[in-house]
């Protein structure tokens, strides 16, 4: 009897065993194995794509409603070594015939702009112009994840997830049904991939963390699949969007056409430089300088903020980067101006490096002052208190009711906005005739004659006329147009400088850039 029982138990385990893997998991496995045989993904240990194309500057569009500013890539290559989780992407960017409107480091490009970005496991770095490694270890997780949404990486990562799923999705109108596989990797990143009737991966949709967008959508389309030998196929055309949102528009990020794709190349893995291995983790650094009565510069990072004291409240000018920076700026403002509520945060423009901390100031209860062009995007996309799964921030962790009456106010303007208590004032002026951002403000403090500007210089004193940027000339022209009495310039990037230096350096460049008057001979 006992033996019979043991046998029965054993038999039921045998019968039930395979059923432990659900029908859906079996379907997913079957699809992924078919996809693997179709393109030889598990035979690909490393791969190198070489080609040309175009790439955009994320979060640097001219207005929130515009597509991202783009440049051409005259050379592009991507080397991936799956086993060591390493990847190297190299590109040479040129302006080409692309519009100069919009922002981004070094945009619009004069000559060539080179970039090399690398990841190996938990280490990431860039190469600077001298070819020296610059640690970017806080980027390692994201760069590693991007390996798992490449054409072969997707299949490898999905096969490695026992909970991968598949479902059929009918594209009404297109008359097609695609198999949609979904997987989770690295503990939290999710991706879905659409496979066609030939089991080729046509499109990947995924999410990456971003201070402005939250869980930010990334869409990658793979087409032009070709045989590259040894039963391996690779897509020669890749088209990528980043930051698409139903309330905004499609944001073109990258488009590359490969001229050559090679699998299983020699020495695709990377050696992590010692300087990267031992680099200290980046930390939020705050350095405060008093500029005038009731006005402090909060520097110490790549972007400055200012704290301004009023009779009954405090205000912050600029909340850049992200939640961590913004929390530190808020804490410093409270230390400098104790016992007064931070009632306003004044934003120079919508570019993500300048707006990435606005949510945090908003959660603090500050009213955001910005150009009316930004209202739709700020209210309906950037400032929503809904959860963010990949990188929760203060507003998503401590949401407030969107029905009010709590925090959550925007004050917008077209030309000019003033905050004043009759003594101290902060005046935002719209900057005209400026290619960098259509909503750009310069911010004037009449009491101390301080002018705050973002991404407009001012250049170092004595910069040759030919090297003065059009951005600084735009600043000069707008100061003259508004007849502002300025004594000190305080840029969001860099150090304060005097107006007399500004006049001496930018004045001649502005005179040269001015179109000749029609009456002139």
Q: Using CB under 5 A as the criterion, which residues of the chain lie in contact with Zn ion when the complex forms? A: 103, 351, 455
How far apart CA 93 and CA 112 sit, in angstroms, is: 6
How far apart CA 218 and CA 240 sit, in angstroms, is: 7
CB of 356 to Zn ion, least distance (A): 12
Residue nearest to Zn ion (CB): 351
Nearer to Zn ion, 453 or 497 (CB): 453
Q: Is 245 exposed, middle or buried (0-12, 13-18, 19+ CB in 10 A)?
A: middle
Nearer to Zn ion, 81 or 439 (CB): 439
Nearer to Zn ion, 53 or 438 (CB): 438
**DSSP bridge pairs for 201:** 195
CB of 456 to Zn ion, least distance (A): 9
CB of 98 to Zn ion, least distance (A): 17
The length of the chain in residues reads 521
**Six token digits for residue 144:** 């590693």
Q: Which helix (H) or strand (E) is 165 found in, with range?
A: strand 165-171
Nearer to Zn ion, 103 or 300 (CB): 103
Nearer to Zn ion, 105 or 186 (CB): 105
CB of 114 to Zn ion, least distance (A): 22
Q: Is 11 exposed, middle or buried (0-12, 13-18, 19+ CB in 10 A)?
A: exposed
Axis-axis angle for helices 23-39, 151-160 (nearest 10): 150
CB of 478 to Zn ion, least distance (A): 16
Contacts of 10 (CB under 8 A, 6+ apart): none
CB of 383 to Zn ion, least distance (A): 19
Nearer to Zn ion, 101 or 262 (CB): 101
**Six token digits for residue 165:** 């799923």
Nearer to Zn ion, 60 or 86 (CB): 60
Nearer to Zn ion, 103 or 294 (CB): 103
CB of 452 to Zn ion, least distance (A): 14
Concatenating the DSSP letter of every residue in 231-289 gives: TEEEEEEEEEEEEE-TTS---EEEEEEEEEEEES-TT-S-PPPHHHHTPPPP----EEE
CB of 354 to Zn ion, least distance (A): 6
Q: For residues 428, 429, 435 and 436, what is the CA-based torsion angle, rounded to 10 degrees? A: -10
């Amino acid at each position: 009897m006992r033996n019979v029982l043991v046998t029965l138990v054993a038999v039921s385990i045998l019968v039930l065993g395979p059923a432990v893997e659900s029908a859906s998991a079996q379907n997913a496995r079957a699809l992924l194995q078919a996809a693997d045989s179709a393109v030889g993904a598990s035979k690909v240990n490393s791969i190198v794509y070489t080609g040309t194309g175009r790439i955009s500057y994320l979060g640097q569009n001219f207005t929130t409603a515009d597509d991202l500013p783009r440049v051409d890539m005259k050379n592009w290559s991507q080397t991936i070594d799956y086993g060591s989780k390493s990847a190297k992407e190299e590109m040479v960017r040129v302006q080409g015939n692309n519009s100069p409107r919009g922002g981004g480091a070094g945009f619009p490009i004069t000559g060539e702009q080179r970039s090399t970005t690398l990841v190996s496991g938990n280490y990431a770095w860039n190469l600077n112009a001298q070819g020296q490694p610059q640690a970017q270890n806080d980027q390692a997780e994201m760069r590693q994840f991007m390996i798992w949404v490449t054409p072969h990486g997707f299949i490898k990562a999905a096969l490695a997830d026992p909970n991968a799923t598949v479902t059929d999705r009918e594209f009404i109108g297109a008359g097609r049904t695609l198999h949609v596989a979904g997987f989770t990797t690295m503990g939290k990143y999710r991706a879905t991939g659409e496979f066609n009737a030939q089991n080729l991966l046509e499109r990947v949709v995924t999410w990456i963390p971003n201070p402005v967008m939250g869980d930010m959508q990334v869409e990658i389309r793979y087409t032009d699949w070709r045989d590259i030998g040894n039963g391996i196929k690779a897509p020669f055309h890749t088209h990528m969007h980043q930051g698409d949102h139903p309330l905004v528009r499609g944001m073109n990020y990258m488009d590359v056409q490969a001229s050559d794709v090679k699998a299983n190349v020699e020495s695709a893995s990377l050696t992590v430089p010692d300087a990267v291995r031992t680099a200290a983790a980046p930390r939020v650094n705050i350095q405060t300088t008093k500029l005038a009565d009731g006005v402090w510069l909060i520097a110490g990072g790549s972007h400055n903020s200012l704290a301004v004291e009023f009779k009954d409240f405090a205000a912050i000018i600029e909340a850049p980067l992200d939640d961590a920076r913004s929390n530190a700026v808020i804490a410093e403002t409270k230390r400098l101006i104790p016992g007064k509520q931070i009632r306003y945060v004044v934003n120079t423009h919508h570019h993500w490096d300048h707006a990435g901390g606005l949510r945090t100031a908003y959660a603090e209860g500050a009213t955001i002052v910005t150009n009316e062009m930004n209202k739709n995007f700020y209210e309906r996309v950037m400032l929503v208190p809904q959860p963010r799964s990949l990188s929760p921030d203060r507003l998503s962790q401590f949401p407030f009711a969107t029905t009010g009456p709590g925090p959550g106010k925007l004050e917008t303007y077209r030309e000019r906005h003033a905050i004043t208590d009759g003594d101290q004032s902060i005046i935002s002026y719209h900057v005209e005739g400026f290619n960098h951002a259509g909503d750009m403000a310069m911010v004037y403090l009449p009491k101390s004659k301080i002018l705050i500007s973002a991404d407009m210089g001012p250049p170092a004193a004595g910069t040759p006329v030919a090297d003065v940027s059009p951005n600084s000339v735009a600043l000069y022209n707008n100061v003259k147009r508004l007849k502002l009495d300025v004594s000190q310039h305080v840029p969001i990037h860099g150090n304060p400088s005097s107006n007399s230096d500004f006049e001496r350096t930018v004045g001649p460049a502005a005179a040269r850039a001015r179109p000749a008057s029609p009456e002139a001979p």
